[in-house]
Amino acid sequence: MDTGLTVALAGNPNTGKTTLFNSLTGARQHVGNYPGVTVEEKHGMCEHNGERLRVVDLPGTYSLTAYSLEEVVARDFLVQDRPALTIDIVDASNLERNLYLALQLLELGIPIMIALNMMDVAESRGLRIDADRLAELLGVPVVPIVARSGKGRTQLIETAIEAARAGIRPRTFEISYGEDLDSALAAMEEIIIHRAFLTETYPARWTALKYLEADAQILEKGRIAAADISGQLEAIALRTAAHISATLNTYPEALIADHRYGYIHAMMKGVVQREETKDRMYLSDTFDAVLTNRLVGPVIMLLILLGLYKFTFAYSEVPVGWCESMFGYLGDLADRALPDGLLKSLIISGIIDGAGGVLGFVPLIMFMFFGIAILEDTGYLARVAFMLDRVFRMFGLHGSSVMAYIISGGIAGGCAVPGVMAARTLRSPRERLATLLTAPFMNCGAKLPVMALMIAAFFASHEALVMFLLTLLAWAVALLSARLLRSTVIAGASTPFVMELPPYRLPTVKGLLIHTWERTWQYIRKAGTVILAISIVVWAMMTFPQLPAQSLHTYEKLRTEELISAPAAAQELDSAEEDAELSESALQLRQALDAVDRKESEAALRNSIAGRIGTSLEGISRLAGFDWRTNIALVGGFAAKEVIVSTLGTAYSLGEIAPEETGSLPETLASSPGWNPLVAVSLLVFVMFYAPCFVTVVCIAREAGSWKWGAFSIVFNTGLAFAMSVAIYQVGKLFI
């Protein structure tokens, strides 16, 4: 038995690395973080015919420059831990792009082999790949596999064991980067070899290339190792860059990438053959000519978005109504079945109104998710990212920031947590930080119910239009804040970047339904667990401490006085079954009694912990038009924004009217004296932009690598949101 051989898995994201890693290591895996950084480290053992290999899954990267943490981690592992072999997993259906990393691994001078994965996809696209020819050109073993089905697994393991045992170094791999760069590289190499500068760790030509690329990590190491040599190399690099800028109007990094792609492109000619079949790429190109056209494209994009909202609101109206009546019915049922008291209040106000407020929007969210699934599965969302790339650069972001925004709810109904994590794919740390700080401004699934509620209560005749405008507002605020951040707290230059367009696909009904259901279920589960728990806690905060016996007594006395003042009406109220049978005086008495009840519930709510918090904030929140009840909901929203609607539901059912008179929440709000369309807009803006929910803040802190940024997002966002709401409310008041 041999446990000494380590094999690393490298590759672009989404090439099937994890699938292969799982297939090789089975259940024996260990997951942790690389020391000192938040990048995940996974390793496990692979056994084959008594041989054991330790397999390490490196983070997925497109390149080995020092743009992202993943790239630095992968490259440090390769040069410091020196695995016996690195298996580069390459997506055979996307060979040219994937080989970019392979070339860099080869330049690093480490022993590698290629696992040519996704052969099934390549075949279905009519690509014929000559693996032997590729092996010959690269000078390393190449094994075609289908990681998902396990095809080629045995051959891959055997080839890997053989290569790892033999411990061969690949032949020196040199690409020509054109006359200017090549002569600079040669001059630098001479100095590096002569002075043995970093040569224990890196090949000389590689170090020289990194100096040309102005790789921050290598420059730093170099300056520490030998400041004078580093100085000489930096001088050559600067001179070369100036020369290239003057003659070719470009910079070394771009020129290096050009030559690598040129090299790969040339290599492809003998390796890949495309069968002349019905070519999906060709059809895609025709679509793209229209859909991503500079002029027509954005117009179509906006129309599609507006269409999506119209579709959602039009078709979800009826089922949303069913949901509302169902929760109304449940409330009535509980009201009749249970004796008055705390338990009844908990069940009706805490559970049914709380969770019901959130679950009532399930049909709407389901329709929205279905529409988004269509855009995503057809490949149209990738076009949206592509078209917005140019715009995003103007705001100091990247084309791939678009995906982070869309995942966070850029169209509607995402979640900032995966959105913030999606920012990982951004290569420049500054653009990444700007993206993850602004992604929470998008309209995530938790804000949707608040929007739906306000729209239903105050803008019911323009549902789709309001939703559309709110979406545009979210993007505008996110982009402007990004610009602000990028020119203040995270100022610095942008990095170059290429965006890819996958071919269009006809989505399957099954695929659409699965995607829709997965997301809807996530939402329901959250409403049924986290939101329910918070909703009960908030209910308790709104219920305790209860009113002192003395003031309860006062209200009891008021009620008795009303009853005594009209004895006939009191008797009638007591015995009547149907409202229609009541006389005028009996109805008046009922209203008088209800008014007392309302006063009592309101006093009770104000007296509770939550009421006291809400009331103490009222002094400043009034500036934006929020009363103490809304404040309770907004404070609860820090925990999770879904809680806003459920808390409003609870606050208005606890503090306002007796349950049998409660209409749906939108009706209650629309008829409440403290509410009007202006307050609704002010609240919407505040909810859209104030502090991200707690989970997102934790996620931002983790991804940004510091609690400072988590705290920053709470303070910055809340300050910004409040300023906007106050401005809207104060200016709006002048016109109303």
Q: Which residues make up the interface to ligand GDP (CB under 6 A)?
A: 11, 13-19, 60, 117-118, 120-121, 146-148
| Contact pattern from residue 180 through residue 209 relative to Mg ion, giving x for each residue in contact according to CB under 5 A and a dash for the rest | ------------------------------
Nearer to ligand GDP, 60 or 297 (CB): 60
β 85-91/6-11 pair status? parallel
Q: Which does 120 bind (CB under 5 to 8 A by kind): ligand GDP, Mg ion, none?
A: ligand GDP
9-38 residues near Mg ion, rule: CB under 5 A: 18
Q: How far is the CB of 82 from ligand GDP (least distance, A)?
A: 23
Give the whole-angstrom CA distance, residue 53 versus residue 48: 8
Q: How far is the CB of 521 from ligand GDP (least distance, A)?
A: 19
DSSP character for 395?
T
Nearer to ligand GDP, 34 or 197 (CB): 34
Contact indicator for 625, 729 with CB cutoff of 8 Å = yes
Which strand ranges, in their side-by-side order, compose the sheet holding 29-33? 29-33, 40-48, 51-57, 6-11, 85-91, 112-117, 142-144
Q: Which does 19 bind (CB under 5 to 8 A by kind): ligand GDP, Mg ion, none?
A: ligand GDP
Q: How far is the CB of 685 from ligand GDP (least distance, A)?
A: 38
Q: Which does 393 bind (CB under 5 to 8 A by kind): Mg ion, ligand GDP, none?
A: none
Nearer to ligand GDP, 13 or 328 (CB): 13
672: contact with Mg ion by CB under 5 A: no
Nearer to ligand GDP, 217 or 378 (CB): 378
Q: How far is the CB of 426 from Mg ion (least distance, A)?
A: 17
Rg (CA), the chain: 32
Q: Which does 148 bind (CB under 5 to 8 A by kind): ligand GDP, Mg ion, none?
A: ligand GDP
Q: How far is the CB of 416 from ligand GDP (least distance, A)?
A: 22
Give the whole-angstrom CA distance, residue 597 versus residue 579: 19
Give the whole-angstrom CA distance, residue 313 versus residue 433: 35
Q: Which does 146 bind (CB under 5 to 8 A by kind): Mg ion, ligand GDP, none?
A: ligand GDP
Q: Which residues contact 146 (CB under 8 A, 6 or more apart)?
A: 117, 118, 119, 120, 152
Give the whole-angstrom CA distance, residue 733 versus residue 677: 11
554: contact with Mg ion by CB under 5 A: no
Nearer to Mg ion, 18 or 201 (CB): 18
- Its sign, for the CA torsion 371, 372, 373, 374, is positive
Reported as type and span, the H/E element at residue 529 is none
Q: Which does 409 bind (CB under 5 to 8 A by kind): ligand GDP, Mg ion, none?
A: none
Q: How far is the CB of 17 from Mg ion (least distance, A)?
A: 5
Q: Which does 14 bind (CB under 5 to 8 A by kind): Mg ion, ligand GDP, none?
A: ligand GDP
Q: How far is CA 386 from CA 294, 383, 392, 423, 496, in A?
A: 11, 5, 10, 16, 14
Nearer to ligand GDP, 20 or 448 (CB): 20
Q: Which residue is nearest to Mg ion (CB)?
A: 18
Q: How far is the CB of 14 from Mg ion (least distance, A)?
A: 8
Alpha-helical regions (H) of 48-94: 69-80
Nearer to ligand GDP, 31 or 595 (CB): 31
- Does residue 10 come out as left (phi exceeding 0), alpha (psi in the -120 to 50 range) or beta? beta
Q: How far is the CB of 263 from ligand GDP (least distance, A)?
A: 24
Q: How far is the CB of 159 from ligand GDP (least distance, A)?
A: 17
Q: How far is CA 338 from CA 324, 328, 343, 345, 658, in A?
A: 21, 15, 8, 10, 15
Q: Which does 143 bind (CB under 5 to 8 A by kind): ligand GDP, Mg ion, none?
A: none
Contact indicator for 4, 167 with CB cutoff of 8 Å = no
Provide the b/e sequence for 241-269 (b: ≥16 CB within 10 Å): beebeeeeeebbbebbbebbbebbeebbe
Q: Which does 625 bind (CB under 5 to 8 A by kind): ligand GDP, Mg ion, none?
A: none
Nearer to ligand GDP, 14 or 671 (CB): 14
Nearer to ligand GDP, 148 or 280 (CB): 148
Q: How far is CA 690 from CA 31, 452, 531, 693, 714, in A?
A: 35, 18, 19, 9, 7
Give the whole-angstrom CA distance, residue 396 versus residue 394: 6
Q: Which does 13 bind (CB under 5 to 8 A by kind): Mg ion, ligand GDP, none?
A: ligand GDP
Q: How far is CA 232 from CA 188, 237, 416, in A?
A: 9, 9, 47
Nearer to ligand GDP, 42 or 398 (CB): 42
Q: Cα 103 vs. chain centroid, distance in angstroms?
A: 32
Residues that bind Mg ion (CB under 5 A): 18
